[in-house]
Structure 1
């Protein structure tokens, strides 16, 4: 019973992310917070993963300055085995879940909705 929207642009939400206009995979709104969610899965490594992590670190830092919004990144896959350093770096400023830990985020959302 979690209400969400898919493919929502930052402009639709009234967010000013500077020169970045972002379309989020999912948006979940609770009474106190709006969660902006990006999802991906990588079966192989490569430079793309490093670029995505860097980009999401920047987006998360911008969103963390906006009251009532939080950026969430759900990612998984064996591709991250070759890019652990960048993923570890992202953990410092991005709230990250994988398929094994996603239940904790969903449980927290359900508590907010009661």
Structure 2
């Protein structure tokens, strides 16, 4: 039932999606829109595409500029690939590939080195 106490969830999503497309067309980035609406960047890109936004094709996801120096430093300081991926809201594979591209010596799987 669509009442002030119980708004229609489909209508609310449709309105959110309309506002997201409007934000995109006004120049907001996917990352900004995702943060504004509390969504993941990948889901935000998918919703924008589904709702008529003309986004550039970037393969499986959208391109996110990561601070490679910060990621390499975090890994060398002992953070795990999973921790870094979670902190930057990207996949494990994306962090792993970035570390490989920067020729970072990888620790054995299974977590942090023991002291």
TM range (shorter): under 0.3
Higher RCO, 1 vs 2 (CA within 8 Å, ≥6 residues apart)? 1
Name whichever structure is richer in strand by fraction: 1
Q: What TM-score, normalized to structure 2?
A: 0.27
Bigger Rg, structure 1 or 2: 2
Name whichever structure is richer in helix by fraction: 2
